[in-house]
Amino acid sequence: MRFSDDFLSELRSRVDIEELIGRYTEIRHRGSRTPVALCPFHTEKTPSFVIYRENQSFYCFGCGVGGDAITFVRNIEHLDYVEAVRYLCERVGMNMPLDPVDDEVNRLRRRCYEANREAARFFYAKLLSEEGQAARDYLRKRQLTDETVKHFGLGFAPDRWDALVKYLKSKDFREEELVSFDLARKTSRGGAIDRFRNRLMFPIIDLRGNVVAFGGRVMDDSKPKYLNSSDTVVYKKSRGVYALNFAKNNNGGKLILCEGYMDVIAMHQAGFTNAVAGLGTAFTQEQIALLSRYCTELILCFDSDEAGVKATNRALRMLENAPMKLRVMHLDGGKDPDEIIKTQGRERMDTIIRSALNDTEFALERIRQKYDTSTEDGKLNFGNEAVEVLAGVNNEIERDLYTSRVAAETGVEKHALEAQVTKARRARGRKEQNRAFENALEMVREGGEVKSPNPQKRQLRLACEAEEIILATLLRHPDFLRRLRDRLSEDVFVTDFNKRYYRDISERIREGRSLDLSVFNETGGNEEMSYLSYLLAKGESLAGSVKECEECVATLLAEKEKLSAPEVAQLSDEDYRALFRQIGSRRNNGDKK
């Protein structure tokens, strides 16, 4: 449903965003021009969540989420747009203008759930059919029982071009729908073919029991080994955790984080029903936030090979500020949990889980392995590096315990070691205080590391930066649009993404409409709101002058020029001839004038 700009502006003026956010996270420098807080959407120790009272928006420099009061309520209370507006209306005593109607997105979501459910059924039936023989053999070889296969809803995608597409079309799904749900792909001839072919299928199920996506694994050595659904209207890869639907209620707040689907399934079959895995991408802050809702202790269970150790270290760095306790399993005598369970049995696995090192022990062990601690030099080196690890332990009792241990191991006096640790902690504290602020500045300056929703940002960094400056400036100084009239038009924009924003913003300015975030909220999703807040935040640090915009226009024109000169070596013969003709005709036209 649509709300009028007037209604939204009225709502916006009545809601105090600072007070609203303050109910979820403690705001520092309350009431100052830029109050900051610990971000309620990702875990952090130093605040990178900034509230802009001036335009009643927020932006997190850590995770890139941003928007206005409505976006905030949507995200934190998990409400849809209309529900969030109603929530705010009730808080400030305003009436909702009309009854909400079921919106298009919800309809699309329901279709997507249905299509995925049907697809899962189809894959399961195919696994049990004649076509699924090889897949069944594979599962038998991996020693998965029928019960396990059924529990996880495993299936088989036939080695045909359009088996699933045909089936789902018979269930009244349209090809375009299947493409947008990432179950099918468009062919160059305009038809649709199955996204997953000749693969073992792992349905990914959300916490409410809906099939939201699939992972597909090959059964031989072909590549890619795993193929995963892309993001759709019901699924965000960066937020997904495999098997959390089963694991969430288990085992006194402990979760075991494995590397892949097969590890998780093997663990569950052996009775470790609190095992989960990420979904094929690098571990994200969003996943950590989700896991932290279901566990107080996270045990990392990665392969014992070099790649596994690297993955462990990467995950530990990501988890540095996570609220749960961390432990790391040491899988000696086997490459992965599946292998250990098979060759040494579940009791052995149980012992390994029990004796998992906590993160401090793990870090110390890593350093210990680098040096020969039977020599004086080795002890000294170990002790020196250990100081950094000890300084990172925030719990006092724990820190004291490990300091004693390292002192005993190296033969250094405990109080001498303590003095070093204290010094290192002080340096660390200062560094951390500065870091959040510097991060924020850096990101605004570089325009960069915050995940940009603009798909062309990576390749066209310079152009994007110039475009963002223009948009950010226009949001703050709408009158510049008139002053830049002769020089600025949508043709100046290089990326389609920013061109669309320019079109929207300039149209609003010309029609004299509001540029409040709340009036964008209705049409825009989270990503759009985050992007606009990012632009607003960026505007804070800009000169905000016509001249700056003019320079950006010049940059864009130069970038355009560069892009339009194709690399001749990369052209196909046909394109080359076309280009040649084009240049020829341009030259002829020029002659006539």
Binding site for Zn ion (CB under 5 A): 39, 41-42, 60, 62-63
Please, what is the minimum distance in Å from the beta carbon of residue 294 to Zn ion?
20
Classify residue 137 by its DSSP letter.
Answer: H
Please, what is the minimum distance in Å from the beta carbon of residue 239 to Zn ion?
14
Phi and psi angles of residue 429, each rounded to the nearest 5 degrees, phi first:
-60, -45
Can you tell me the distance from the alpha carbon of 486 to that of 206, in angstroms, rounded to the nearest whole number? Answer: 52
CB 356 within 8 A of CB 329: yes
Please, what is the minimum distance in Å from the beta carbon of residue 44 to Zn ion?
7
Residue whose CB is less far from Zn ion, 3 or 41: 41
Residue whose CB is less far from Zn ion, 46 or 358: 46
Q: What share of the chain is helix, strand, coil (3-state, %, to 5)?
A: 55, 10, 35
Can you tell me the distance from the alpha carbon of 111 to that of 459, in angstroms, rounded to the nearest whole number? Answer: 35
Residue whose CB is less far from Zn ion, 289 or 474: 289
Residue whose CB is less far from Zn ion, 40 or 216: 40
Whole-angstrom CA distances from 463 to 452, 467, 551, 558 are 14, 6, 12, 9
Residue whose CB is less far from Zn ion, 4 or 433: 433
Please, what is the minimum distance in Å from the beta carbon of residue 156 to Zn ion?
40
Please, what is the minimum distance in Å from the beta carbon of residue 38 to Zn ion?
9
Classify residue 47 by its DSSP letter.
Answer: -
Residue whose CB is less far from Zn ion, 64 or 447: 64
Please, what is the minimum distance in Å from the beta carbon of residue 559 to Zn ion?
31
Residue whose CB is less far from Zn ion, 402 or 531: 531
Please, what is the minimum distance in Å from the beta carbon of residue 62 to Zn ion?
4
Please, what is the minimum distance in Å from the beta carbon of residue 510 to Zn ion?
35
Whole-angstrom CA distances from 506 to 23, 29, 503, 532 are 36, 35, 5, 14
Can you tell me the distance from the alpha carbon of 245 to that of 276, in angstroms, rounded to the nearest whole number? Answer: 9
CB 25 within 8 A of CB 303: no
For residue 304, which of 342, 346, 265, 338 has the smallest C-alpha distance?
338
Please, what is the minimum distance in Å from the beta carbon of residue 66 to Zn ion?
9
CB 579 within 8 A of CB 516: no
Look-up: residue for tokens 């990392």? 300
Residue whose CB is less far from Zn ion, 60 or 460: 60
Residue whose CB is less far from Zn ion, 323 or 566: 323
Residue whose CB is less far from Zn ion, 229 or 285: 285
CA dihedral 76, 82, 88, 94 (to 10 degrees): 180
DSSP β-ladder status, 254-258 and 192-194: unpaired
Can you tell me the distance from the alpha carbon of 285 to that of 361, in angstroms, rounded to the nearest whole number? Answer: 23
Please, what is the minimum distance in Å from the beta carbon of residue 437 to Zn ion?
15
CA dihedral 472, 477, 478, 483 (to 10 degrees): -110
- Could you give the residue ranges of the DSSP H alpha helices within 270-375? 285-292, 306-318, 337-354, 359-370
Residue 243 region by backbone torsions, left for phi larger than 0, else alpha for psi between -120 and 50, else beta: left
Residue 411 region by backbone torsions, left for phi larger than 0, else alpha for psi between -120 and 50, else beta: left
